[in-house]
């Protein structure tokens, strides 16, 4: 978990679109922040990726976010599922995606070397996910260990995010 700051787009407890209750900030990037939220309707956990305010009105960044939303057409367990996007009353744009519970591959690797068999399993899963994306003419432009989550800590449940 990343500590919340007063300048963050959302704070724990905020309710978005009368549906998503922010639980915690998961991480910050150069253009966006990612939050764990829970649907007040279904109880389902979701991850919300919000463009920082300075990018939410920039057409170039909105185009990139729209492309990212196209990932919702991919139906593969190794690729995170996106469901929708919204704009807050303040003009912030955010994507709603499945919450994948587990460590990032980057964090796992910082703990020490992984067994070769586990690395191969992760590689196979990532290749399968990339193949599904490429079949839809979608290219992941930032594939790195921090964009691969091991659902439940399991190499055979690796999921490509972002």
- pLDDT tens, position by position, 71-124: 778 889 999 998 888 889 988 989 999 999 999 999 999 999 999 999 999 999
Q: Say yes or no to pLDDT of 52 above 70.
A: yes
Judge whether residue 68 has pLDDT over 70.
no
- pTM for the full predicted model: 0.87
Tally Cβ neighbours within 10 Å of residue 32. Answer: 22
pLDDT at 155 over 80: yes
Who wins on pLDDT, 9 or 62? 9
For the chain, the average pLDDT equals 90
Looking at residue 61, what is its pLDDT?
A: 74
Residue 51, number of CB atoms within 10 A of its CB = 24
Distance CA 70, CA 82 (A): 8
**What is the phi/psi pair of residue 56, to 5°?**
-70, -20
Distance set, CA 156 to CA 110, 129, 132 (Å): 19, 12, 17
Question: pLDDT tens for residues 112-123?
Answer: 999 999 999 999
**Residue 90 catalytic?**
no
Which residue out of 90, 118, 142, 162 is catalytically annotated?
Answer: 142
Side by side, which strands form the sheet with 15-16? 15-16, 20-28, 32-39, 45-51, 93-98, 82-87
* Mean pLDDT, range 18-37, rounded to an integer: 94
pLDDT of residue 82: 87
């Amino acid at each position: 978990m990343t500590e919340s700051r007063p300048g963050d787009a959302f704070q724990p407890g905020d309710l978005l679109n009368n549906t998503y209750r922010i639980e915690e900030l998961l991480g910050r990037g150069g253009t966006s922040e990612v939050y764990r939220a829970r649907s007040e309707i279904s109880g389902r956990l979701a991850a919300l990726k919000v463009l920082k305010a300075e990018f939410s009105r920039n057409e170039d960044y909105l185009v990139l976010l729209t492309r990212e939303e196209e990932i919702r057409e991919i139906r593969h367990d190794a690729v995170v599922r996106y469901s929708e996007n919204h704009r807050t009353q303040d003009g912030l744009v955010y994507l709603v995606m499945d919450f994948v519970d587990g460590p990032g591959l980057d964090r796992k690797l910082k703990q020490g070397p992984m067994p070769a068999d586990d690395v191969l399993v992760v590689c196979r899963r990532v290749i399968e996910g990339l193949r599904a994306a490429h079949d839809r003419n979608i290219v992941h432009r930032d594939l790195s260990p921090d964009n691969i989550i091991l659902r439940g800590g399991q190499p055979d449940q690796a999921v490509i995010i972002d």
